[in-house]
């Protein structure tokens, strides 16, 4: 797991660890990530819980924003998120691709595509990530 290793709590002690989220930053500024479909991310009917998909999406967008603002002494945290859940995922891997749409001084806006292992679009998410000064140590 890469998200969060550099700051704060160890990832295994956070939502990232609980869901089994892995991230990878691309050279073009996008962030890819995935999590295995396990019982812990399913809702009672055997489908990946929409909240788990949104947690993956926000993780990717927050991580990408943080990478872009950390050298200026800033943190990144979710401010707003909305999603259209279009297709269920029941097995395999939940994949996410986050693309920055606006990199502002106080907020970044991202579009995140959630796909299954066949590359089918399962959710389309838009997230706004707030940029705030890091607290003094």
Give the active site residues: 58
Nearest-angstrom CA–CA distance, 19 and 16: 5
Dist. CA 8–CA 102, nearest whole Å: 26
**Coil, helix or strand at residue 101:** strand
Closest CA to 15 of 57, 64, 55, 63: 55
Q: How far is CA 46 from the centre of its chain?
A: 22
User: What is the DSSP-derived secondary structure letter of residue 3?
Assistant: T
């Amino acid at each position: 797991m890469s998200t969060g290793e550099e700051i704060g709590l160890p990832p295994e002690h956070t939502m990232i660890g609980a869901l089994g989220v892995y991230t990878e930053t691309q050279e073009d500024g996008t962030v890819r990530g995935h999590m295995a479909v396990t019982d812990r991310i399913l809702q009672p009917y055997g489908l990946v819980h929409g909240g788990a998909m949104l947690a993956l999406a926000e993780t990717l967008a927050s991580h990408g924003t943080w990478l872009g603002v950390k050298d200026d002494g800033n943190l990144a945290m979710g401010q707003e998120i909305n999603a259209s859940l279009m297709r269920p995922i029941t097995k395999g891997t939940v994949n996410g691709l986050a693309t920055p749409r606006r990199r502002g001084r106080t907020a970044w806006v991202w579009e995140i595509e959630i796909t299954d292992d066949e590359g089918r679009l399962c959710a389309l998410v838009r997230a706004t990530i707030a940029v705030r000064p890091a607290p003094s140590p």
